[in-house]
Structure 1
């Protein structure tokens, strides 16, 4: 039975450390972690969550884009566990978009990200996938990949002028 895990907050040292590769995707610990991350991201109205956000230092995250109260215009996709993910190639085009983070509640930032990326990852069965991601889903992937490298979205801001509270964001971007 999966459970909702505690999401650690900015300031916790694991959020600033390099995650370790997952060597055994079918281990019970990894399979249980995936189930718990899926439950946690949905309960928190997130569109992605990385293992370091629940104090587990593994190169694993969930991309779970879907419309929800925090991201009402998000595209719908099947939640996907991505193990040992990496970017193989990216567009030259950078696009700024609003991001929030379950580990940094209460604020959003206007973050530049590549519009299109070619990625590689293993799924929970250990099968290797290569695919191109664009726009919002590419943004989620890049945000979560940063978590595996000890980077949070505020590190990517071009200016502190690009920060806003969640309350003001909701006023500017009503559903």
Structure 2
């Protein structure tokens, strides 16, 4: 089932999400719905807070990036199978040079900005069977993971912009929260004025 994506301004996007265990109700169905919602919105990742659930869960399918000719062969190889579910992830370390890349977010449609992030991330997470894994990602794969992980910490990519950029985007962000935007996918707007 395709779920509405929660828009910028909703308090759920600012909460630190809670860990879950194997007894979480209908988890398989939730994961399937999140994937369907992500694909419907042409996203490469979606976190549970973006569908209104403050739990430590996100899904990523960054395989479309594997076709990018500008990436190194190592990066393309890492991305070609990067379709995973992450439950209760914990970042162990981020390292390497910070680099800029234009990011967007399903909760903040029509805004893309360069965000600086470190190039490598090592983390631990659980899969759908609640088996624990440790992994290190680099480049685009690391960035997609870091973006979704931030959602679990109540952080949005716009928080990482300069104060000048934030001021420039303020009106646009207010309009998004009020539903004054057209998207190809269903959204839930926190400040939508009822007519």
What is the TM-score when the length of structure 1 is the normalising length? 0.83
Per the alignment, residue 23 of structure 1 pairs with 21
Which has more radius of gyration?
A: 2
Give distance in 2, aligned partners of 1:38 and 1:142.
18
Runs of 4+ off more than 6 Å:
162-165
Q: How does 1:92-171 map to 2 (within 5 A)?
A: 92-158=96-162, 160-161=164-165
Shift of 1:97: 0.8
Deviations 1:80-133 (A, max 9, x none): 110001111121411111100000001001111110011110000111110110
Structure of higher RCO (CA pairs closer than 8 Å, 6+ residues apart) = 2
Residue 56 (structure 1) aligned to one of 45, 50, 53: 53
Between the aligned partners of 1:55 and 1:136, the Cα distance in structure 2 is 26
Normalized per residue, which structure has more helix?
A: 2
Does the CA contact (< 8 Å) of 1:111 and 1:158 recur in 2?
A: no
Paired residue secondary structure (1:141): helix
What RMSD in Å do the two structures reach over aligned CA positions? Answer: 2.3
Question: For 2:56 and 2:87, how far apart are their aligned partners in 1?
Answer: 6
Q: Which stretch shifts more, 121-130 or 152-161?
A: 152-161
Q: Give the superposition deviation at 1:160.
A: 4.0
What SS is found at the alignment partner of 1:131? Answer: strand
- Structure 1: gaps spanning 5 or more residues: 166-175
| Consecutive unaligned residues in structure 2, runs of 5 or more | 69-75, 173-195
- Check conservation: 2:16, 2:54, Cα contact below 8 A: yes
- Comparing 71-80 and 89-98, the one that deviates more: 71-80
| Partner residue, 1:36 | 33
Give the conservation status (yes or no) of the 8 Å contact 2:82–2:141: no
Deviation at 1:55, TM superposition (A): 0.1
